[in-house]
Structure 1
Amino acid sequence: MVRATPLSPDERRKAIIDVTIPLLREHGRETTTKQVAEAAGIAEGTIFRVFESKHELFLQALETAFDPYDFLDLLDQIDTDLPLRTKLVQIAALYQERFTGTFELMSKMGMVQPPQAIKHGSEWRERAREVSTRLVAMNADDLRIDPYEVVRAVRLLTFSGSHPHISDGRILTPDEIVDIVLNGTLKESR
């Protein structure tokens, strides 16, 4: 057996968490430490040098998977010079990726909501609204409602349109979501 690359405890911890998340998405709570060790290319005992238990490993992996800050960074990277529709499609796509990833992981893990220990509070949601609203506000003259309300509608429709049960198994695309928000459902008057 080839020895694993020497890493600091923090680096080893992160590497183990990084391989655990996809295993949890695939196997849920049935994920074994043997599977984690194989995916990480380490001996099973190495896991317990940086985690006290399988439960702690899973909790840390879930906390990392549900961490909103990568999502916020991507939202911050949307080009402010893009046309309004394009910005909204990118916003909806990022929200959808976050929502579907969360729904899938929670379902696989048998969760109805993130555990209290890993909820990130409303701070990140407020920051996401602020960033999104700022992007849309640049086109406020083109809108008949407040940019905040446009963002709210996109977020709500993305959430419901991305949930497999709420959407009756027919997930809305980011383009469909933005078309509904920007154009409504009425035919243009003749």
Structure 2
Amino acid sequence: MTPRATPMCPDDRRTALVTATLPLLLEHGRAVTTKQIAEAAGVAEGTIFRVFESKEELVAATLEHAFDPEPFLADLRGIDPDQPLRDLVSALVKALQDRFRGIFELMTAVGMSGPPPARQHLANHRELAARIMADLLAPYADELAVPVEELVRITRLLTFSGSHPHISEGRTLTTDEIVSTVLDGLRAKDS
């Protein structure tokens, strides 16, 4: 018998169940059971249905949580701006890779081909992320052959495609490969 769950308000219980569900979705996809979720959350199976109408509603809430851009934007804002250009671009690429890979892995696990309907408006978050990145890179504008905004665009595109296992034909790019391509190009040094 599952021990009685610690009393929580419904919002806290929802959050705890979403947190327990995310790794299970990555492991089992949509085939995850409410029994597995309850065990991972340390609650009785019926507890799930006190705060969610169905397993599908819990899965949708978990996907919504996983696609929330705010933690990623906070990561970008937390990057140290007072580091050399190469280190700064590396930090930006690493943050982008972590975000993209996490989303790609989850989408593959649950059979998604795009963001959940509630996240179709992600363009404004992409613009905000681009602005944060551009602000971080602005002090180095004189060292760049292109405007800062163009460096951000190219870095994001290369990181997205180079981090996606299907687009990259299973040969994803490392942070260093992306940074070197963006900052140094692919031309031989004595050309």
TM-score w.r.t. the length of structure 2 is 0.96
Superposition RMSD in Å: 1.1
Paired position in structure 1 for 2:131: 130
**Pairs within 5 Å for 1:39-188:** 39-188=40-189
Taking only the aligned residue pairs, the percentage that are identical comes to 55
Instruction: Find the aligned partners of 1:108 and 1:83 in 2 and give their Cα distance.
Output: 38
User: What SS does structure 2 have at the residue aligned with 1:6?
Assistant: coil
TM-score (norm 1): 0.97
Q: Give, in angstroms, the shift of residue 64 of structure 1.
A: 0.1
Q: Per-residue deviation at 1:122?
A: 1.2
Query: 1:67, 1:120 within 8 Å by CA — same for their partners in 2?
Result: no
Residues 175 and 147 of structure 1, relative CA distance in 2, 3 Å threshold: same
Structure 1 segments, 4+ long, off by >4 Å, are none
Q: Write the deviation string for residues 4-26 of structure 1: whole angstroms up to 9, x where unpaired.
A: 21111111110000010110011
* Amino acid in structure 2 at the alignment position of 1:151: V
Counterparts of 1:70 and 1:51, CA distance in 2: 24
Deviates more, 1:111-120 or 1:176-185: 111-120
Deviation for aligned residue 1:171: 1.1
**Residue aligned with 2:105, SS:** helix
| Partner Cα separation in structure 1 for residue 4 and residue 158 of structure 2 | 49
Number of residue pairs matched by the alignment: 190
Structure 1, residues 84-127: CA drift from partner, whole Å, max 9, x if none? 11111111111111111111111111111112223343111011
Q: Any gaps of 5 or more consecutive residues in structure 2?
A: none
Corresponding residue SS for 1:139:
helix
CA contact (8 A) 1:85 1:178 kept: yes
